[in-house]
Amino acid sequence: MPATRRGALLGALALSPLARPALAQAAPYPNRPVRILVGAAAGGATDIITRIVTEGMTPDFPRGFAVENRPGAGGNIAAEVVARATPDGYTLLMGDAAQTAINPVLYRRVTFDPARDFAPIGLVAEFPFVIVVNPEVPARTMEEFTAWARAQAEPVLYGSPNAGSQHHLGMEALAQRLGFRVTHVPYRGGAPAVVDLLSGQLKVGSIGLPPLVPHLREGKLRALAVSTAHRSPLAPDVPTLSEAGLPGFALAVWYGLMAPRGTPPEAIRHCEAALAAAQARPEVITRLAEQGLTVRRGGAEALGAFMASEIAFWGQAARASGVTID
């Protein structure tokens, strides 16, 4: 075959369908399931929020999500996995103030830097934590609880979902303000703490509202106060801490979606848009509200600015507490 005809034939083959795999570009994001790390046990507030929100995001993620529970070390285990993950948009973190603001101060050894290692995607939701007791505790108000706690010969044992969480430091601050002593019992999420509260093994808790809701309704546990500035629609008879004698004392537990730093901007934008769309879906709003959660909107820029302010606030609170964790 003459060289000219052979060259023409090879050129034609290069443009034929047989050659397309060599020319094909990578499929657009997302083209496989995305895993979201949760730093608490299944059934707790973080887990509940993550599953509701990711279900609302599935129209924009046809391959779906895999929620991966990695409890322990105040959420540090999950955060460390995400901080070290390949920044390709396929590993995300449902983060909170503990991982992003408190733990780097509270824990002696933290291998990640929230400001350096995470790319914000968007704010997700918030809810109050609740000062809750087993009915064996003879207190129906914060005033009665304070009197009871002050009368105890030993510090009052209380449980929270994580060492270093807002629930943990919030109760420490509360005890200092009201003049009673406490000893913290850390759990790997709100759900296991609730189990011990129900059994009576634990008498006092500082727990997020979502896993408490059914037990409060059934009278199996007693809520004394919620931490936010406003009462929860799910527990309208439970006063705020401000109403219970601590004017201005209000703290919300918040969650934000994050990715490893260096994640492609197009993946961040896709996640940010999908999250905003999920937060606008009536069924997502309703399901979150049924668990005592309020949607908190704000994209990547808003979450980044908020994280910076929370790092300053909770970092100071953690240092002031004098608590350190190995």
pLDDT digit string, tens, across residues 195-241: 999 999 999 999 988 789 899 999 999 999 999 989 998 889 999 99
* Structural tokens at position 146: 């304070």
| C-alpha count within 13 angstroms, C-beta hemisphere, residue 14 | 6
Whether residue 167 contacts residue 206, with contact meaning beta carbons closer than 8 Å, is answered with yes
SS3 204: strand
pLDDT over 50 (residue 16): no
Protein fold of 129-226: D-Maltodextrin-Binding Protein; domain 2 (3.40.190)
Are the CB atoms for 208 and 45 separated by under 8 Å? yes
Q: What mean pLDDT comes out for the span 168-196?
A: 92
For the cut 90, the answer to whether the pLDDT of residue 314 exceeds it is no
Which CATH superfamily includes the segment(s) 34-125+254-321?
Bordetella uptake gene, domain 1 (3.40.190.150)
Pair 212, 229: CB distance under 8 Å: no
- At a CB cut-off of 8 Å and minimum separation 6, what does 243 contact? 225
For 250, the token pair is 């209000």
Write down the domain spans for the chain. Answer: 34-125+254-321, 129-226
Close Cβ partners of 197 (under 8 Å, ≥ 6 residues apart): 132, 133, 134, 159, 203, 205, 207, 215, 221
pLDDT surpassing 50 at residue 62:
yes
Q: 34-125+254-321 with 129-226: one CATH topology?
A: yes
Which among 267, 302, 256 has a CA at the least distance from the CA of 96?
256
List residues bridging with 96 in a β-sheet. 255
Percent of the chain having pLDDT more than 90? 63
Structure tokens at 31: 């083209």
**Which element (helix H / strand E) includes 34?**
strand 34-38
Taking residues 285-301, report their average pLDDT: 91
Per-chain mean pLDDT for the chain: 89
Question: Mean of the pLDDT values across residues 293-308?
Answer: 94
Q: What 3-state DSSP class applies to 145?
A: helix
Q: Residue 311 — pLDDT band, cuts 50, 70, 90?
A: confident
The answer, yes or no, to whether residue 181 has pLDDT greater than 60, is: yes
C-alpha separations of 33 from 25, 53, 63, 144, 165 in Å: 19, 15, 5, 51, 29
Query: Residue 89 gets which letter from DSSP?
Result: S
Q: Could you tell me which residues come within 8 angstroms of residue 158 by beta carbon, excluding any fewer than 6 positions away?
A: 171, 182, 183, 184, 185, 202, 204, 205, 206
